[in-house]
Chain A
Amino acid sequence: IAGITQAPTSQILAAGRRMTLRCTQDMRHNAMYWYRQDLGLGLRLIHYSNTAGTTGKGEVPDGYSVSRANTDDFPLTLASAVPSQTSVYFCASSESSGEANEQFFGPGTRLTVL
Chain B
Amino acid sequence: GQNIDQPTEMTATEGAIVQINCTYQTSGFNGLFWYQQHAGEAPTFLSYNVLDGLEEKGRFSSFLSRSKGYSYLLLKELQMKDSASYLCAVKGGDYKLSFGAGTTVTVRA
Residues of chain A whose beta carbon lies under 8 Å from any beta carbon of chain B: 33, 35, 40-45, 48, 58-59, 90, 97-100, 102-108
Chain A residues contacting B50 (CB-CB under 8 Å) are 99-100
Minimal Cβ-Cβ distance residue in B for A58: B96
Question: What would 12 more interface pairs be, CB under 8 Å, given A90-B43, A104-B45?
Answer: A33-B97, A35-B99, A42-B87, A42-B99, A90-B42, A97-B96, A99-B95, A100-B31, A103-B33, A103-B45, A105-B44, A107-B42
A42-B100, A42-B101 known; A99 and B30 CB under 8 Å? yes
For B47, give the chain A residue with the smallest CB separation: A102
Q: How far is the CB of A113 from chain B (nearest CB, A)?
A: 20
B positions within 8 Å CB-CB of A:
4, 30-31, 33, 41-45, 48, 50, 87, 89, 91, 95-102
Q: Which residues of A contact B102 (CB under 8 A)?
A: 42
Q: Closest 6 CB pairs between A and B? A: A105-B42, A42-B101, A43-B99, A102-B45, A42-B99, A99-B30
**DSSP majority for the A interface?**
loop
List chain A residues, Cβ under 8 A from B96.
45, 48, 58, 97
